[in-house]
Chains A and B, each alone.
Chain A
Amino acid sequence: MAGATPDSASAETTYRSARVPLLLPTWLVIGVFLILPVALMAVYSFLTKEMRGGVIWEFSLAAYDQFFINRGLFGDEPPTLEWTYLTVFGRSILQAAIATVLCLLIGFPTAWFIATRPPETRGVWLFLITVPYWVNLLIRTVSLRFLIRENGPLNDALLGAGVISQPLALINTDFAVQLGLFYSYLPFMVLPIYAAVERYNFAWSEAAADLYASRWVTLREIVLPIVKPGIIAGCLLVFIPSLGAFLAPNLLGGAKNFMIGSLIEEQFKKSLGNWPFGAAVSMILMSLVLILLMLYARSAARQETR
């Protein structure tokens, strides 16, 4: 595209000399209101918590210590690994993973189906899939809660149809949270897979069938390896937000489903909170996410050079 004709090539650099004033607002806003705060948050995680909820500007590893190490109730026992918070992280990772798998199992067939529709109907299907995404996540989560609670419409319908004899206790379970995460991020799984399948050449499937492969073997041997980049992108786009999700565990899960998002939120409730600790947990979460993103970037780069 660049340099298609001498004319358009020169248009590509029209604003070159104005690039600094054009980008200054972006640099300022994101630099001051995103990058700086994150840096300050990093600093905060190394500060000491004050009794009444503020902070003392004194370097301390107390927040990270609290996260990883157990020194007993009064802090005087020999240090052992602190499992409480690691368990929260572990649980979040597990929930996010299950939600991702759910999204994959439902999202892949859906994406494939949409991508194999005739071009006219394809747009309509895509539109239908993405519209719920544009509804406020809070409202979507609230609607889900309304639907699946014990005396909610779902149970009413199931009871009425005679499928069950007692209402299902779906709220405040792991499943409810997974369902909530699935519901929140499904379009993020469908769209990248759809894009990958759209680029897929069905002649490959025909060649496989021509060479005696059944449909499902073709799916396993030919389709999935080729569509893999889209699948991985979709999984990341679901897994990462699910890790730090707050609304689904808060509104759909109970005390047993405490996740990273809730752990962090709790630290910032006025005088009860521990801001350095909250900052530390956020740092740990962010590091986890950045590592995942870097791994992804590296494997994507390796795909390019293959």
Chain B
Amino acid sequence: MTCAVDIRTVTKTYGTFTALHGVSLSIRDNEFFTLLGPSGCGKTTLLRMMAGFEDVTKGEILLFGQNIASLEPNHRPVNTVFQQYALFPHMSVIDNVGFGLKMKGWSKEKRRTRAGEMLEMVHLTDFADRLPAQLSGGQQQRVALARALAPQPKVLLLDEPLSALDLKLRQAMRMELKQLQEDTGITFIFVTHDQEEALTMSNRIAVMSAGHIQQIGSPQDIYESPLNRFVADFIGDTNLLQVEVAAISGDQAQVILPGGQRVACSTATTEKGTHHLSIRPERVTLVPIGSGLQAVVEQVIYLGTDLQVLVRLDGGTAMQVRIQNAARTEVPSPGTRVGLQLEEGAARLLAD
């Protein structure tokens, strides 16, 4: 598979502050790749460096093998969908969409044709002559998309384009974007802080925090096999327990919980010693006391689709368990002693 974008030990400093610490990653052609992390983690900085709006302090950025770190943004065959769309307020929608083509020297007819095609693709043909101010947020977002795709870039950069939309619209746009990427075959590099977005849309995700890449992998890899506490906690909900490693062999391990109970799990590390164990709350079943981990129910929280059961293990550790709120569910009352049965893949020993 061709490598579309190759980031090689890229560091970015602003004076004394380091935004990116020698990060490396490799994005494949025709991939929907997401940079995921909380605000301040450096994901937007990295994206802007690919676009050409930030200088590379150290390292290289290769686009299909060519180092573009010193190229001005208007010389890179890469286009961006901006977080607040940045549609030119004084130009009509169709002029906005055709702008990149105008800059490349396309004739007026060719521009109009292509811009028209793009608008059709995003279902905004009727809005061609309107001004951006006359459009809703969702419509502006689609114009920004059409504008960035019109010049047929090799790579499309998307800087949290859905964050300004409301929930229902966001969910609909996720599917549209995913479909668009598959249809056009362009490499999409998507930045977001919303892990649900990342999981639903991406082929692969790079989880970032404080200028470092924590883990790169497919949504399944990231969720099922997190490497460390940050990734385990950032994606989905989890219980983090401090444990002592009893035995490790291959990718399985045996750990000792505070209080002495033992758990078998998959592992991200080969070291012994003290580590954290991640247990996914939805992969725990409540069984009658006697089997599984011994605990006492402290509180039951009603969430509509689920019930969140807060328990305390014998040994003192608090945990949360998620059970589906189906018609036949027995709701355990606070104070009851229960057993916690861990399903396959519920527990994972983390590297830190």
Contact = CB atoms under 8 A, between A and B. Distances in A.
A and B touch in the complex (CB under 8 A): yes
Interface of A: 201, 203-204, 206-214, 217, 221-222, 225-226, 306
Contact of B104 (A201, A206, A212): A212
A93 B1 CA distance: 69
B90 A225 contact: yes
A222 B102 CA distance: 13
B100 interface: yes
Contact of B72 (A203, A209, A225): A209
B274 interface: no
B9 to A, nearest CB: 25
A212 B76 CA distance: 8
Contacts, number: 63
Contacts of B74: 208-214
Contacts of A209: 52-53, 72-74
B104 A203 contact: no
A211 B79 contact: yes
B226 interface: no
B73 A210 contact: yes
Interface string B120-154: 00000000000100000000000000011001000
A297 to B, nearest CB: 21
B99 A211 contact: yes
Given A206-B73, A217-B103, A225-B90, A211 B147 contact: yes
Contact of B86 (A203, A212, A225, A306): A203
B64 interface: no
B315 interface: no
B178 to A, nearest CB: 23
Contacts of A225: 90
Contact of B100 (A201, A206, A211): A211
Given A207-B82, A210-B73, A226 B90 contact: yes
B285 to A, nearest CB: 50
B51 A210 contact: yes
Given A209-B53, A211-B99, A221-B99, 11 more contacts: A203-B84, A206-B53, A206-B73, A207-B82, A210-B52, A211-B103, A211-B148, A212-B75, A212-B151, A222-B88, A225-B90
A139 B306 CA distance: 81
Contacts of A206: 51, 53, 73, 80, 82, 86
